[in-house]
Chains A and B, each alone.
Chain A
């Protein structure tokens, strides 16, 4: 038996390489893979904190705001500058450029409506609250809150009133920036800002992904898993081998799981520290920011009752695993959203795979880190060929660009 074992192993690997076995999927396999298909994408989570989250008029307003460069200090920056539809709502840069250079890489917006936390460090708990970040960031849109409100009054007043039923007190605001605002005026500002965010969120929630080759492959498995020919036209042997590695030995699916290939949780995979002089504390900093944030689900500008804000109420505030941890990004369309990681440190998928195969532990600086960062992955020991197969599989996650979808274009 001892002598037979190597033979058996050799036979198995031959059988796999031969392409006969590689397309053979058992009912349990298919059932497992179904959970990764877009078909299994649940409806968007309810958004009790945003009363207009599913209002088409709010989405139409948000659509215009998203593409409007007038909403910026220099009249040239829109959300769409860094989240470009033809690049799957990213910008192709390691770190984005607008009025300044951002600290991190611009992630896609596709699927973001499913995430409980926004930004790489999850420092926002809703898309509406998230949108207020770039608008006011001096390096992005660079607007003061009053300027946002003045622009709304000037260009969007009618729509704004239509969507929300009133003007939120826009007329009470001073015409010019400068002077001190009363408490009441500041409340008006916050209300206007939150409504701007809520409209943008309504738009973002409507963005949809079309089935990628992987989804069609799973659909074919469901229809007729015995039709090798049909399966082989959807995914090559190498891609299927990559999928088997992704789900199995390479363990990618333990974090990148579900129809969007993310668990939306925070992990430290030891990606190279972008700036050792000022380390990125990731989720640790995100939690601290959430506790101070004036626009969470629990804030007066949210439409939810406190009991509906489960994520905030049960927010995990402590634990070594928060330090330097980042939100698992979606891998949908990942072959077209280079560069990678929170600050675009890795330029190609080859570099990403090389990192996972032989990861460096997270950078640790006793002066800067509150505790030694946690390390969530183990070396994989994949061959060059196998790494290539995983990359090939990632390419099957590319949805066709929805160029004919009006939401993927600037509004007329």
Chain B
């Protein structure tokens, strides 16, 4: 196990939290943020390892070309040995890269889970929807709780990632192209809790409708809640909204806007409307001072 990680895990178990002056949920988020950065570090190291491997392979190929041009003799034998050495190194770098990548990914997963748990606890009074955004009046198979959540175990967080065709009930004989001709990736991350592109913002969205579901063909409002990774609300942000259907070159039928910040970090988005079922991608471009970031949500209607 990575020493850095042991420290972080230990911090969780310590009776006095590492971030003594903050609430436990804040420390959870801070920890998640820290781990996320470490996951990024691992990812970067993995990329470096791959580069090493690649440049070794290039050198190796050049040496092999050279080998072919050499006559039998000492020089050739020596070069042969070098080549064998190089050739042995390459798989080691590849393995290294793969394991770094894997560790990075799993650390990222854990980091996101911690962030989400901390976030949910901090923002609990505002959160009515814990599952993915779902169409009103559809019997989707994915789990969507409308009740307020108390606490959620990190291991349950992936309940909202549904496999590709989750929206079409199994007993349907009408061959309804639920995805309207879209190529939906096997596993689409439909969570309504997401980390931003630059890893600076953790966000949640939900429709402000009676049952927290998305109506089709009806203008309605959303609530967007933005938090920094230390659990501080991200207030006074400028937000730009873009929505489209991948594979359709299609935008939203309306131009939604943020019309107010109800409370620090809690934004009211008005004018949202979807005219088609299928896979939608909603992106919120967020800027606040030096922060320039974007959060994206996948929605399957």
Contacts and interface: CB of A to CB of B under 8 A. Distances in A.
B110 to A, nearest CB: 37
Given A248-B174, A263-B217, A374 B180 contact: no
B7 interface: no
B137 interface: yes
Interface string B246-263: 001111111111000000
Nearest to B270: A314
B253 A316 contact: yes
Interface stretch (B100-108, B125-133, B165-173, B197-205): B165-173
A321 interface: yes
Contact of B249 (A248, A251, A258, A321): A321
A255 B251 CA distance: 15
A30 to B, nearest CB: 10
Interface stretch (B28-36, B50-58, B115-123, B271-279): B271-279
Nearest to A30: B174
A29 B172 contact: yes
Contacts of A33: 174
A395 B144 CA distance: 39
A347 B238 CA distance: 51
Majority secondary structure of chain A interface residues (helix, strand, loop or mixed): loop
Contacts of A376: 248, 250
A244 B174 contact: yes
Chain B binding surface SS class: loop
B166 to A, nearest CB: 13
A258 B137 CA distance: 12
Contacts of A258: 217
Contact of A26 (B171, B254, B273): B171
Interface string A311-355: 101111111110000000000000000000000000000000000
B99 to A, nearest CB: 37
Interface in A20-50: 21, 24-29, 31-33, 35
B88 interface: no
B275 A253 contact: no
A248 B251 contact: no
Given A254-B180, A314-B254, A247 B174 contact: yes
A314 B172 contact: no
Interface residues of B, number: 31
Contacts of B252: 316
B177 interface: yes
B180 A251 contact: yes
Nearest to B255: A316
B210 interface: no
B249 to A, nearest CB: 6
A200 B278 CA distance: 37
A35 B137 contact: yes
B171 A28 contact: yes
Contacts of B250: 321, 374, 376
A27 B170 CA distance: 11
B139 interface: yes
Contacts of A26: 171-173
A295 interface: no
Given A26-B173, A254-B276, A258-B217, 17 more contacts: A25-B174, A26-B171, A32-B172, A32-B176, A33-B174, A35-B137, A247-B175, A254-B177, A264-B275, A265-B276, A313-B271, A314-B270, A314-B273, A315-B254, A316-B251, A316-B253, A374-B250
Interface of B: 137, 139, 169, 171-177, 180-181, 217, 219, 248-257, 270-271, 273, 275-278
27 contacts: A24-B173, A25-B173, A25-B174, A26-B172, A26-B173, A28-B171, A29-B172, A32-B176, A244-B174, A248-B174, A249-B177, A251-B177, A253-B176, A254-B277, A254-B278, A255-B276, A265-B275, A266-B253, A311-B219, A313-B270, A313-B271, A314-B256, A314-B273, A315-B254, A316-B254, A321-B251, A376-B250
